[in-house]
Amino acid sequence: MIGEPGSRQTDPGLFRSLLDRFGHLVRELSKFATVGGVAFLVDLAIFNYLTLALGVEPVTARVISTVIAATVAFLGNRFWTWRHRQRSNPAREYALFFLFNGVGLAIAVSCMALSRYGLGSVWPEIFRTPLADNISGYIVGTGLGTLFRFWSYRRFVFPEAGTPSVPEVTHDRHAA
């Protein structure tokens, strides 16, 4: 039975309560991840084309590819992820989006630069390679930058109008 020691069943009311409380956040995260995935592929493809086909220096190529991918991400987030949120001044949204995206880019570029120029000065055969650039810039850097971006976009770029109400939970101490 539910609540007995050793029971592995979950309380369906608890699951429903969590879904009611955090379902909107899960939906936003899913859409944000989808938009981010598309932008990531655009970024990765352009970066590798610039570095491998055109010979552009990796950090410069990363900046160029990220600016293009950020435009794709802005459009996807504004018109899909947070389309339900009140629109403010589009120039303000765009400027804040790119400001916070710039911070995310700085996080990713810093990870790549630390790998390529810091660790690469010690072990150039390992850390000054296309594989190392992709791992440091796209896995580590993009992962850290994505956490920052989700928080900042949700909080500052596409904020909710007003504070959402949280249902009050009451507990009757005398209930059996």
Q: Which helix (H) or strand (E) holds 44?
A: helix 12-48
Q: Is 38 exposed, middle or buried (0-12, 13-18, 19+ CB in 10 A)?
A: middle
The answer to whether 32 and 81 have CB atoms below 8 angstroms apart is yes
**Is residue 171 one of the residues assigned to a domain?**
no
Q: How many domains does the chain have?
A: 1
**Is residue 141 one of the residues assigned to a domain?**
yes
**Is residue 32 one of the residues assigned to a domain?**
yes
**Is residue 101 one of the residues assigned to a domain?**
yes
pLDDT for the residue 84: 75
**Is residue 11 one of the residues assigned to a domain?**
no
Rounded Cα–Cα distance for residues 63 and 105 (Å)? 7
**Is residue 21 one of the residues assigned to a domain?**
yes
Residue written as token pair 């055109």: 54
In which domain, by residue range, is 29 found? Answer: 16-157
DSSP code of residue 29: H
> Residue 165 carries which side chain, given as an amino acid letter?
S
**Is residue 110 one of the residues assigned to a domain?**
yes
From start to end of 4-54, where are the E strands?
none
Rounded Cα–Cα distance for residues 137 and 105 (Å)? 9
pLDDT for the residue 22: 67
Rounded Cα–Cα distance for residues 150 and 143 (Å)? 11
pLDDT band at 63, cuts 50/70/90?
confident
Rounded Cα–Cα distance for residues 123 and 132 (Å)? 11
Q: What is the pLDDT of residues 95-112, one digit of tens each?
A: 898 899 889 889 988 999
pLDDT band at 115, cuts 50/70/90?
very high
- The whole-number average pLDDT for the span 5-29 is 68
**Is residue 167 one of the residues assigned to a domain?**
no
